[in-house]
Structure 1
Amino acid sequence: MELKDLFLTPLYLGIFYGIAFAVRKRFTNPLTRKYFIPALSVKFLGAIGLGLIYQFYYGGGDTFNYFSHVKVIYRAFGDSFSTGVKLLLGKHPADADMLRYTGQMYWYDAPTEYFVAQVASVFALIGFGSYTVIALGFAFLSFCGMWAMYVTFLRIYPLAYKKLAIAVFFLPSVFFWGSGLMKDSLCIGALGWTFYGFYHALILKKNIPTAVVLGTLGAYILLSVKVYILLSFLPAALLWVFNENNQRIKSAALRMLLKPLFLLLGAGAGYLGATGLTAGDEKYDVEKLGERARINQQYLTTYAANGSTYNIGEFDGSLSSTLKVAPQAIIVSIFRPFLFEVRNPVMLLSALEASLFIWLTVSLFYKTGLGKGFALILGTPILLFCFLFAIIFAIGVGINSGNFGTLVRYKIPLMPFYLAALYIMQAKAQPKRRVVAKPQLNSARKFSRLATTE
């Protein structure tokens, strides 16, 4: 961060807040309006905090590596506008005018990393090359996607609107790691748009043009930056679509008869979608994921510092090996680090969140009973989707990480979905109580109308 950040940050904070206040009425309702500005504020806090932590605690890191690329592109615009445009668009192969700049960017030929630098460069051009302005831009962009995620959850189950706000916006790890100049900020926002698009276009069948645009944009960003998030999302989402349509069949007998078919179609469509997206990709081809996960796990475990490594057992990249370590991977991704494993402040934050997940999970299944709890999940499509996505994703990141330092960042996409599912399940499992006061909120139908923003 530089001296100009001190002057530009308050100015651009004012601009972003001005935009937020201007559009708040359009994108909120009586239930959600009070969360709009606080949710945006914690994103801004996370973006600035992440930059400060990387600068003064870690002494560097990915966020400043991205920024070094942005500075090269920004400088190119000052030297030659046409060359700057070619760098911004990632022209390949680089021509003679570009070589003096591409030689300074070791990620120019790394599409996923350079995509982040390209997006950041857009904010740099409107923010005078300021790191903090770029970080605030990423936070604002991420917030837009996460608000779409929240609106979608609210459409499905408006009665849990308070706790859903906590699940989506106010988990410290999510708003800290998912707000600054990082891949994670783009991805969690894109996941929100993809979630919105799937639900509104394929299940609710309303606002279809907007849903298609946002869903396609979100999927494109995930495909460009972290395709494994999309690979985890697709099977669960397609199964969700089939389950929702299955539940709309009026005949109970026909519904039960067709449910296995819907399950098979959902799983098959998810697999075909995953393999089609990654076919031939050197890094993410489904056929190579196991082997790459093994190599990545060994590397991160070997070179991790500060005693933050974990061991989920022997893993050789095969399907049988994946199934063997899957339970440990799920536990480590969702319920660890435990409090006694904490070695630094970042791990403490993650451990406190993991403790919350443990307490909510155990207490919920204790109160409902395992049988009733699983029956509720299997009988509620949104719960099955959330838990299935969280489990698939947890297996992937739990195997790949090898240490808690990287895991705390990798796992943030699953956290809002897992916690939202717990809160929805908690609300649905509670015995119905008669409410005397506030009769306008007694009816779930009236409550649902209040929750509608479209």
Structure 2
Amino acid sequence: MAILVKRFLPSTLPNWLYWMGLCLKLLAGIILGLVFYKYYGSGDTINFFNEAISSSSIEQRNEPRTEFFIQILKPVTQLAGKSYWITSLYFSFFSFSAFWFGANVIAKNYPSLKWITAISLLMIPSIVFWSSGVIKDSIASASLVILVASSINSYCNKKIHALDSLFIGVSAIVLFNIKHYLLITSLIFIGILLATTLFNKLGIKWKIVSVLVFATAITLTQYIHPYLNYNTIPWTLQQNNQAILEKSDSEGRIDIEIREESWIEVLKNIPKALHAGFFRPSILDRTPVWGWIHRIENLVLTVLIMMSLILALKLKPPIDWPLFIASICGISLLAIMLPLSTPNFGTLVRYKNAYMPYLFLISSILPYRYFTSQTEE
């Protein structure tokens, strides 16, 4: 399967990078399983696998997202001979194929950025780890990267190809059933991208159309999940926030607490949440030993963001504003909402994986071009 994907999936990246990235992904899935089996002794990945190989029905759980994931998992476990480890290899491979596709699509449209694109999507340890193995995040991250890459491809080529539409549609269905908030963020990303593109066109007609496009995207987000519309978001955030805080020890807690079910309380905590979503856990935070991986990554990310801000002010480089605004809005939305609802480092670093590849990529562009003396847009 890996040979077929390498042979038939269009690629602008070298062969050795494909095999290196694939090996890292497969290894990450195995390590994830070992951590849960040998260290924790339990966890979602073990429960999902046990239910997938069981003949009993899971409909009584009243957990549609889990049920959907297990329905995807079941045929793979049969193909793997009911082996957790072979099942993990399959899921890691499927996830890698999606990330390889995304990296190549972005690299094709932005050739000068192919190396930082490859590193951001394929080589950063926590991103590789939390998108591998028998977990929902491996499927959700894979679906998101396909949706984002296909949207960027349509934007760069100024037309929507049938294949891009198919990829976007299938990815949206998967996200709707597994990670509602990622679908909402995707709709906002696409809506802003379309709206800002149309707004830049001359004539009042296009500006009106752009406003309607954005309004439509925002309206659609209100019907994805009853707990994630404007009226219920404060309640949802407060309930999740309090539940996570009660289960967290002092070392893992983040100092973000939503005491009331109100937008005022939510807005008051946004600065702390944005800081945590972008930069924490930092090297100043206390974490278990393996938390140093995330702390070092966030230190590198902090340096890249600071350098990007300085270079942007100093050099005033040309910027693709529609894509930049849409990307920053989508990333910032997740960087705010996730720490508000999950004020625990262990949970947050897992969920941050959804937007970290794109944050690393955006933050690396100006420093990379500065040190390599590249001046293309």
- Counterpart position of 1:369: 313
RMSD across aligned positions (CA) = 2.7
CA offsets 1:70-127 (integer angstroms, 9 cap, x no match):
121xxx3xxxxxxxxxxxxxxxxxxxxxxxx23xx48743110111211111111111
Within-5 A mapping of 1:194-273: 194-201=147-154, 204=157, 208-247=161-200, 249=201, 254=202, 261=208, 264-273=211-220
C-alpha deviations, 1:373-429, integer Å up to 9, x for none? 8xx65x532222222111011111010101101001111011011111112344567
Residues 286, 185 of structure 1: alpha-carbon distance in 2 compared, 3 angstrom cutoff: farther
Aligned length: 377
State whether residues 51 and 180 of structure 1, in contact with CA within 8 Å, keep that contact through their aligned partners in structure 2: yes
**Corresponding position of 1:342:** 286
Mapped partners of 1:45, 1:192: distance in 2: 20
CA distance in 2, matches of 1:60, 1:414: 27
Q: Which residue of 2 aligns with 1:451?
A: none
CA contact (8 A) 1:383 1:425 kept: no
Judge conservation of contact 2:77–2:83 (CA < 8 Å) in 1: yes
- Select which of 315, 338, 353 maps to 1:397: 338
Q: Distance in 1 between matches of 2:279 and 2:210?
A: 28
Residue of structure 1 in register with 2:223 after alignment: 276
| Alpha-carbon contact 1:193-1:217 (below 8 Å) kept | no
Whole-angstrom CA distance in 2 between matches of 1:292 and 1:174: 27
Amino acid at match of 1:240: L
- Letter paired with 1:49: I
Judged with a 3 Å threshold, the aligned counterparts in structure 2 of structure 1 residues 61 and 364 are, in CA distance, closer, same or farther, namely same
Aligned to 1:382: 323
- CA deviation vs aligned residue, 1:298-334 (integer Å, no higher than 9, x gap): 1101111361101135453433333222221111011
Choose the corresponding residue for 1:309, options 253, 258, 261: 253
Unaligned residue ranges in structure 1 (runs of 5+): 1-18, 77-100, 435-443, 446-454
Kept in 2: contact 1:387–1:417 (CA 8 A) = no
Give the conservation status (yes or no) of the 8 Å contact 1:243–1:262.
Answer: no
Partner of residue 151, structure 1: 104
Shift of 1:22: 2.9
Structure 2 gap ranges (5+): none
Partners of 1:150 and 1:319 in 2: CA distance:
38
Q: Which of 1 and 2 has greater Rg?
A: 1
Rate the CA distance shift 1:175–1:306 in 2: closer, same or farther, 3 A.
farther
Deviates more, 1:398-407 or 1:232-241: 232-241
CA contact (8 A) 2:5 2:97 kept: no
Specify which of 85, 110, 113 is matched with residue 66 of structure 2: 113
Q: Residue 313 and residue 207 in structure 1: after superposition, are their counterparts in 2 closer, same or farther (change >3 A)?
A: closer
Displacement of 1:287: 2.6
Q: Distance in 1 between matches of 2:210 and 2:313?
A: 25
* 8 Å CA contact retained: 2:9, 2:101: no
Q: State the Cα distance separating 1:341 from its structure 2 match.
A: 1.2
Q: Map 1:125-204 onto structure 2 (within 5 A).
A: 125-201=78-154, 204=157
8 Å CA contact 1:306–1:343 kept in 2: the answer is no
TM-score by length of 1: 0.76
The range that moved more, 191-200 or 225-234, is 191-200
Paired with 2:281 and 2:313, the residues of 1 have a C-alpha distance of 26
Cα deviations across residues 188-220 of structure 1 (Å, max 9, x unaligned)?
000012113323446525672211221111111
TM-score normalised over the length of structure 2: 0.90
What is the alpha-carbon distance in structure 2 between the residues aligned to residue 66 and residue 389 of structure 1? 30
Q: Does 1:33 align with 2:15?
A: yes
Q: How far apart in 2 are the matches of 1:355 and 1:186?
A: 28
